[in-house]
Amino acid sequence: MEIEKQVVSLELARKMKDLGFEQESLFYWFPFGGGVHEWQLTERLFSKEDLKGWKFYEKNDKDFVFYSAYTVAELLKIIYDMTGMLPCIHDRDLKPEKIADYLAEVACNIKEE
């Protein structure tokens, strides 16, 4: 299974950042493509220093954004740290590629309460 299906979707990653979740994870959604903003996964978080010389990022400092693309294991830890419990997923009719998004939604719901 591709890694993109094993991490939280870009949409939910954005929501989690907006809700104040710490932006530290094994993978990140980062806009590559010199202005095209093709969001891709990276294992390395680029700093502004790393991007010196990339004309697009130097001209568009406001566009320097990234989102943590949490894995299932990271999401389980986030939820456990918030509640002291792990969510039950065995009785859900979830496809493997939807588990990260389901857990992200659980974490968001807890944070919004």
The per-residue pLDDT for range 76-96, each reduced to its tens digit, is 999 999 999 999 887 778 888
Give the strands of the sheet with 38-42, arranged side by side: 38-42, 28-32, 67-68
What integer pLDDT is reported at residue 43 of this predicted model? 83
Mean pLDDT throughout 96-110?
95
Please say if the pLDDT value at position 69 is more than 70: yes
Return the domain boundaries, the chain. 3-112
Stated pTM of the model: 0.81
Least Cα distance to 85 among 67, 98, 103 occurs for: 103
What integer pLDDT is reported at residue 14 of this predicted model? 96
Please say if the pLDDT value at position 70 is more than 60: yes
Contact 64, 85 (CB under 8 A): no
Please say if the pLDDT value at position 99 is more than 60: yes
